[in-house]
Amino acid sequence: MSDIIHLLPDSVANQIAAGEVIQRPASVLKELVENSIDAGASLIQVFVVDAGKTSIQVVDDGKGMSETDARLSFERHATSKIAAANDLFALRTMGFRGEALASIAAVAQVELKTRREEDELGTHIIIEGSRFKSQELVSCSQGASFLVKNLFYNIPARRKFLKSNSTEMSNIVAEFERIALANPSVSFRLVNGDTTVLDLPKGNFRQRIVNIFGRRIDSHLIPIKVDTSLAKITGFVGAPDSARKKGAQQYFFVNGRYMRHSYFAKAVFTAFERLLPEGEQVPYFIVFEVDPANIDVNIHPTKTEIKFEDEQAIWQVLLAAVRESLGKFNAIPTIDFDQTGRPDIPVYSKEAFDVAPPEITINNNFNPFTTESTSPPLSYGTRLRPTTPSSSPKQWQLAYEGIDIPTEPVEHSLSLYSNTEDLLTQRREVSTPCIQLQNRYIITTAKHQLLVIDQQRAHYRVLYDQFLTLFAGQAGVSQGLLFPLTIDLSPSHFIHYERIEPNLLKAGFDLVRIADSTQLQLQGIPSGAEGIDGIAFIQNIVSQAATGEVEAEDEINHLLASALAVRKAIPAGKQMTAEEMSHLVDALFLTETPTLTPDGAKIIFTIEEGTIENML
């Protein structure tokens, strides 16, 4: 029997290694930029074409490589960072993975130009799919220039699973932001095609945060600083008024490396207990400096998950540091009992005020059992809000002389009663008048059932269906704002905004980009959406599109309709008239799914007639 175990060819081994190191274009950027940082570069430029699928070029002004080093850098396990196994526990550099360049060269076409300061000529190397093509001397500037073309060109199955250009570009920008935040002393520039996405001069940590995420965040940053034998912790947390539902910028760094750490994130969240509404988050940018021997950065291929030896103790230190900063910078509400001045409280004086007792009027003709309604029904048209009647002044026609006023009623642009009038008629025939319980539930009957309806959830479902119909059909009507609002988006979120911008404009949002920045000016909102926080609304919608990788137009319309409806729905605790309740229940039964809200919450609770009889 012949032997069945054999060694893999280097080309296959490199492709397997690339599966761990190079998952998408953003992975290439991460490895190359980290190598540039380790080379002592003061300026790193990244040029991307076709979201990195066509090419990614990283150019730095670092110390460069000799001709021999340039050739060896593409060999497996080649590195300048470690010489023995123990060196793995004292690493302070970033791109120490020996197989990084070899893995990139195994799945792409790579060109390297590099020169040291002391050399007159540099080295030009071309490698395709792990195959060495050429090496020659060339005139080039000091540093290194890596050009990676046609990623996964020789592995079609891997290339097929890459996401859309907007998603891949968003990952590239997010990775670029993390590296730039961790290295504020280095200048960075990211260019996508002909557009400069980020141009970041060197500065301090706070300046780098503001340069990436906009000036608005600067006023919300609260510094934290603590130095212990376990770790030195510095950085910033957001003030409570900067909290948002989704999309808050949250970053941890350890020894210049970005990391994810849910345990430490809980420490920050615990520090903000009772300061934030439920479900909201604050931004934070926190840097840890610890002894490399006390952390393990090799538990995850991308090195974003890091194990700390003294995790619980550092958790307590972080919690105390954040709480101390919140108290020091008056982020926690307090009562000042040391006021020197006395409040000016007016004192009642009988001589100064001649107050008459209130008069009580009684209507002897009032009948509490009259069925005439004194309140208008809820309106479920495109305005999506109750309308309040007002008495018309006498001779009002004089104000409209010379204007043709239509005598026939104008057909509403959005009808709820198009295809299911039979269902509505059937319910009316067997139903009784609606009763409100605790200003929250509507009680009515249908056939042989008692229905208990959550009024807020019912209105949410009705409004959601109306907005969804509106977005799927004609363009929404925009209502201009008296004072336009400025919205700051991070570069990575702005890419997702550009993808859903047509849907937002069609819904009735009037949005204009400010120059070539990632800022937007909100000049109008959809008619019927008055009262919403326009800035928070747009930021949350973009954040949901970014985190959920929403691609289809229907999904984006769902996000818009759901977000608008939940903000416009009548709140629990609102007192409703019998006619308002009847209109709401009628509209609910005409929706596609009257029993559940768009997010799956139950709207109607039913009690069968037999159940009631058995209870008595």
* pLDDT beyond 60 at 398: no
Strand stretches in 320-425, DSSP E = none
Helix axes 311-328, 262-271, angle to 10 degrees: 30
**According to the model, what pLDDT value does residue 253 have?**
95
* pLDDT beyond 60 at 66: yes
**Whole-angstrom Cα distance, residue 19 to residue 103?**
8
Tokens of 217: 């965040």
Task: State how beta strands 143-149 and 441-446 pair.
Answer: unpaired
Q: Quote the mean pLDDT of the chain.
A: 79
Tokens of 286: 């926190």
**Whole-angstrom Cα distance, residue 233 to residue 225?**
6
Residues 120-156: tens digit of each pLDDT: 999 999 999 888 899 999 999 999 999 999 999 988 8
**According to the model, what pLDDT value does residue 565 have?**
86
Task: State how beta strands 43-49 and 55-60 pair.
Answer: antiparallel
User: Which pTM value belongs to this model?
Assistant: 0.67
Percentage above 70 pLDDT, the chain: 73
Q: At 537, is the pLDDT very low, low, confident or very high (cuts 50, 70, 90)? A: confident
**According to the model, what pLDDT value does residue 397 have?**
44
Q: What is the mean pLDDT of residues 377-394?
A: 41
Residues 70-105: tens digit of each pLDDT: 888 888 765 655 545 554 555 555 554 456 888 898
Question: Which residues, in sequence order, are CB contacts of 97 under 8 Å at separation 6+?
Answer: 21, 31, 79
CA dihedral 576, 579, 580, 586 (to 10 degrees): 130
Q: At 360, is the pLDDT very low, low, confident or very high (cuts 50, 70, 90)? A: low
> According to DSSP H, which parts of 389-533 are helical?
421-430, 455-472, 491-507
**According to the model, what pLDDT value does residue 473 have?**
67
Note whether 44 and 188 are within 8 A (CB).
yes
Q: What is the mean pLDDT of residues 271-297?
A: 88
Q: At 356, is the pLDDT very low, low, confident or very high (cuts 50, 70, 90)? A: low
**Whole-angstrom Cα distance, residue 197 to residue 189?**
8
**Whole-angstrom Cα distance, residue 76 to residue 87?**
18
Question: Which residues, in sequence order, are CB contacts of 305 under 8 Å at separation 6+?
Answer: 259, 260, 261, 299
* pLDDT beyond 50 at 381: no
Q: At 431, is the pLDDT very low, low, confident or very high (cuts 50, 70, 90)? A: low
Note whether 182 and 172 are within 8 A (CB).
no
